[in-house]
Structure 1
């Protein structure tokens, strides 16, 4: 039967029409005869009902999508009969078509229905490319090149889309199950992989959290500052994405775990932060940056009472632009002055005095938004955080930039399983990029700007990206004049003009010096904030003739060897050994005492409620 169909289909390809099965005669012995017809044979139900009077049917039907008619009642067909139970013989062949035939060109005929086909290799390619978030159109273009041109491709974009849709439908009703299975497989290959799922009283999934082993280890190295944001919905369940993001020794964004939340309230954030803290071996971050969400702030105060919490300055200023737009228009210099008061104030008292002077100058004491900003100033204004290390992160824009990256991989129709797989690809690319930068920092020596010995020290120890920042700070140290205020202990650095800035106000900085301890303390708190010596301290250093960078001003987190030699928690090594032992002796040989030990070494997965969706 298949050979008969293939033969007639090949004939149809040459002639310019499409075919389909029409009828198969069966008996106890099986199929005895068959009809293969032109695809335009017969009439559709809609065509048959066109002549009937309206209202002849009493059935109430859902309105159907109007489709184009393809049937013309064509009589062309081929009949084959099974002779003596062994040989198929063509008994009837009619080749009279009542419609135009396609030109004798494979480029035209190849997209007729019966001539469209996808090999298993094509389907595998489509699935793999779809997993990389490549759309049907680009997949079709790739396959066209692979097959030597579009004339050799016997399928359309819609066929590619159907393959993707069919693959996605396999997840219907078992999306969370597939995700759990994926997490379990990840644990098999990565013993430090951590995940937790929280369910409600009805057994439905509320929240999902996961972090791979490398993210957990990276947190031990670079987890001093974390940004957290929940502003992007990425899946068909509209569960907000909640990534924990930090910065590594190459000043690149890295993940410290990922979560999907059903709702955003204080209780749910508490569950997430406690789960994340468990995954990060109980190590609290020194500082965390979030938006101005009140529920988030409440949860941080409960779970991270000793962590410095800062609201994202970028969000604050964006709201200011939205609310103060009319004020900016009436007072052209107000926006610039507001920015100077916020970013140019070195101390809390200086900020508060400058704010009051600005308000009085422009007579905006009754502006509600400005009053609200000032009321919450301790949550976001830089003057209140000068002495806190933030790795030069003042906003959650690293989270915003990651959200832009997610948009390239997922959309509002993405299932949880597909989303998790996409995140895996993104994280793999991040670690690959870090590895590339490690190699470049080890094997390349950036060009020196000066002959200062401490610049050479910086180039030797810092990564390429960090050294480029240090070099700019060194160049900035040439600005201004340093004057000794107290003999050998206090210097004032005056900067009257900076050619790189159009609007630059004169400013001075005080640098306290302890020569014996080799300590340089500037009131700009540049080192405390970003972990690199400020230009004002460096200016005093080279005035005093210092030749080397003091070791206590070189943070390992910015060095080439930042991720080398970090001790892994003992609990993980014990868990890995235990898993290895289980494989050797078999799970059935474990006694009760071993099971108790396993509970003690558990990383938290079994304590979380899991459920089927």
Structure 2
């Protein structure tokens, strides 16, 4: 796994933005520095054949080679299993471009031989010493500044701390290989085999120890085919880092150094997840429908009931290994906080990966895609329209498990679909998608969410099509996000400034008009209006503080009974549960519970049933809270993260209005004056 984030990627900035802040034992002063600045003491570099990357070739040939095997440049935040792996990676990168490397310096813990850090530099770094001026050896030193700095962050994991990629000399592949061959004769370290030459740490590429290599979930690695789009992807990442603080991207490299999977996410998405982390949808429509673009998306639902993007990825395949890497990459970016509910499409490899990475989350299948797959499997059925109506009645109309299973069996027999494999598989997984089984699962309105055309990824509808190329996608990506953010801002403004029109005189409606966002209020308003079709509240059982009621509802010419459990605690707190599961599905109470609350004399909806995620008076600052808030005063990297986070919170507040902007500007000027006149204390 490799990654880069912030606008410090590929720079010598002293404050590179990292995925995680790691606290080390001791400060720089407690370490001893060992300088290895002599060519004769270089670690061995093997003479493995070149990776066939030639920067002097024509652009078309360069693009073709990029597609064949991309050798990723080093970047701050990359992590490795060991120092040898880190060295081998930089060495392979150097040979690919045509320069040699050496160890400029390294340091160990005082009174210990344990290596704690090192600087690897281009072999042309520095200049020849005066005492060597008369030497007959060819002078190859040019004062080149290209380098990487490595630090041991925990146990045996090593992290790239700083990177400088620019060279002040031309590349010489022949000399780089000659140097490698010469150094290889001085075997002071064991030589890593070719397959680990460019192996970065694979924190997210793990199979169970009990999974045999022949298991169907254990699939061979494939390369990510970008069809000439890698340059566009690289430029896109670099460009967005200039304007988006704490933008993060991760790349998954195969053992041969080729790009396999990519994941990226911005700071706003990471912050939004702190508000809407109760539900996460994973969309793989592009993969299941064989789009040209192997795009996947992590999607949430905001306070207006609209979709929000919580991360994107490009994947090489649909294997267990790929999904584990992708899910763990996402989870790491969210500081290890899994969602309450995770909704995916039906896929065996994906389901196993979810249980591996999100064992405590409620994994459910997308009902929209389940129904689509069932309809698609019976497209040749003569009575397909009648079947569609019958399926909808069974799925949405049954209130109890026994009722659903009996109705399902009758429907299958009626239409002669007993041997339909798709329907059999869907029924086996019914507890993951059928509403009658999901009443203990919070879905935030996703059960009845208007996903539209299931042949297109719903968050990218109208934007990503079957033949959309990577370059086209990236060119419109920021515009797409801007439209989403603008829509959310307009909905926020409408909710705060507009007074919704009431349809009834019921106090619940006027209460929620002051609390819910406009879009959620309109949905709740429909429930209040539907209370008029409910009647006949009857208590059928009582057991101390808990009572069972039946509420009748007229549906056309039929009348149905809905059982509602009503419970009061010693603190006079009310708890209600309806057999329809309305609160779990939508995040607000159903018409049956509302009628019972009114029947029992409650003039307002109890506060525990007014979720904060739907409230319009909550100030949601989309500034991610990275880390625990504790700052290691010995670590300058943490100073930057801490100060930047606090400053961005002020910026977000300042964007609310002209007055807020003026107040923030004055506060910044005051802070700048105070900091300017701080007197440094002697260390």
**Is the TM-score greater than 0.5?**
yes
Q: Which residue of 1 aligns with 2:426?
A: 373
d(CA) in 1 for partners of 2:565, 2:434 = 25
Matched, 1:414 2:476: no
Contact 2:457 2:464 in 1 (8 A): no
- For the structure 1 residues 579 and 399, does the alpha-carbon distance in structure 2 shift closer, same or farther, using more than 3 Å as the test? farther
Cα distance between partner residues in 1 of 2:453 and 2:279: 13
Distance apart, 1:237 and its partner CA: 10
1:493 alignment partner in structure 2: 551
Aligned-pair CA distance for 1:307: 1.4
Contact 2:268 2:622 in 1 (8 A): no
Q: Does 1:187 align with 2:238?
A: no
Q: Counterpart in 1 of 2:327?
A: 273
1:254: how far off?
Answer: 0.6
Secondary structure of 1:496's counterpart equals strand
- Alignment correspondent of 1:135: none
Tell me if the contact between 1:250 and 1:558 (Cα under 8 Å) persists in the aligned partners: yes
Aligned twin of 1:247 = 301
The 5 Å alignment of 1:79-118 reads none
SS of alignment partner, residue 232 of structure 1: helix
Matches within 5 A, 1:75-474: 175-177=229-231, 179-232=233-286, 238-327=292-381, 329=383, 333-359=386-412, 365-394=418-447, 397=451, 400=454, 402=457, 405=460, 407-408=462-463, 412=467, 414-416=469-471, 419-474=473-528
* Residue of 442, 463, 484 corresponding to 2:539: 484
Q: Deviations over 1:35-88 (max 9, x none)?
A: xxxxxxxxxxxxxxxxxxxxxxxxxxxxxxxxxxxxxxxxxxxxxxxxxxxxxx
SS in 2 for 1:506: strand
Residue 571 of structure 1 aligns to a residue in which SS? coil
Which secondary structure does the structure 2 equivalent of 1:394 belong to?
helix
* Closer, same or farther: CA 456–465 of 1 in aligned 2, 3 Å: same
Using the alignment, how far apart are the partners of 2:619 and 2:376 within structure 1?
Answer: 42
Q: Equivalent residue for 1:508? A: 561
CA positional deviation for 1:380: 2.0
Distance 1:520 1:228, change over 3 A: same
What's the C-alpha RMSD, in Å, of the aligned pairs? 3.3
Q: How far does residue 398 in structure 1 lie from its aligned partner after superposition?
A: 7.2
1:350 Cα deviation (Å)? 2.6
Question: Is the CA contact 2:343–2:364 (under 8 Å) kept in the aligned structure 1?
Answer: yes
With the length of structure 2 as denominator, give the TM-score of the two structures: 0.54
The 1:546/1:251 distance shift into structure 2, 3 A limit, reads same
CA contact (8 A) 1:212 1:257 kept: yes
Residues 474/364 of structure 1: CA separation in 2 closer, same or farther (3 Å cut): same
Check conservation: 2:283, 2:457, Cα contact below 8 A.
no
1:530 corresponding residue in structure 2: 586
Counterpart pick for 1:578 among 615, 631, 640: 640
Contact residue 547 and residue 567 of structure 2 kept, 8 A: yes
- Indicate if the aligned counterparts of 2:292 and 2:468 stay in contact, CA closer than 8 A: no
Cα deviation per residue 1:539-574 (whole Å; 9 max; x = unaligned)? 111222211111000000011134536884242976
Once residues 280 and 356 of structure 1 are traced to their aligned partners in structure 2, the CA distance between those partners, rounded to angstroms, is 43
Q: Structure 1: how far apart are the matches of 2:323 and 2:333?
A: 15
Using the alignment, how far apart are the partners of 1:422 and 1:435 within structure 2? 20
Q: CA deviation at 1:188?
A: 4.3
Asked if 1 retains the 8 angstrom alpha-carbon contact of 2:432 and 2:438, the reply is no
Q: Which structure shows the bigger proportion of residues in helix conformation?
A: 1
Which residue matches 2:43?
Answer: none
Whole-angstrom distance in 1 between the partners of 2:277 and 2:244: 21
Distance 1:218 1:432 in 2: 15
**Worse-matched range after superposition: 485-494 or 468-477:** 485-494
Separation (CA, whole Å) in 2 of partners of 1:440 and 1:379: 37
In 2, Cα distance between equivalents of 1:321 and 1:579: 51
The answer to whether the Cα contact below 8 Å between 1:244 and 1:256 also exists between their aligned partners in 2 is: yes
CA contact (8 A) 2:285 2:457 kept: no
- Is the contact between residue 292 and residue 466 of structure 2 (CA under 8 Å) also seen in structure 1? no
- CA distance in structure 2 between the partners assigned to 1:409 and 1:373 by the alignment: 28
Structure 1 residues 352 and 202: alpha-carbon distance in aligned structure 2, compared to 1, 3 A threshold: same
Q: For 1:477, what is the secondary structure of its paired residue? A: helix
Distance change (3 Å), C-alpha of 1:275 and 1:223: same
SS of 1:440 mapped into structure 2? helix
8 Å Cα contact 2:275/2:620 also seen in 1? no
For residue 255 of structure 1, give the secondary structure of its aligned residue in structure 2. strand
Offset at residue 327 of structure 1 (A)? 4.5
Work out whether residues 227 and 290 of structure 1, in 8 Å CA contact, stay in contact via their aligned partners in 2.
Answer: yes
Greater gyration radius: 1
Contact 1:221 1:557 in 2 (8 A): yes
Distance 1:247 1:399, change over 3 A: farther
Moved more, 246-255 or 333-342: 333-342
Conserved 8 A contact 1:470-1:532: yes
- Whole-angstrom distance in 1 between the partners of 2:375 and 2:393: 15
Number of residue equivalences = 404
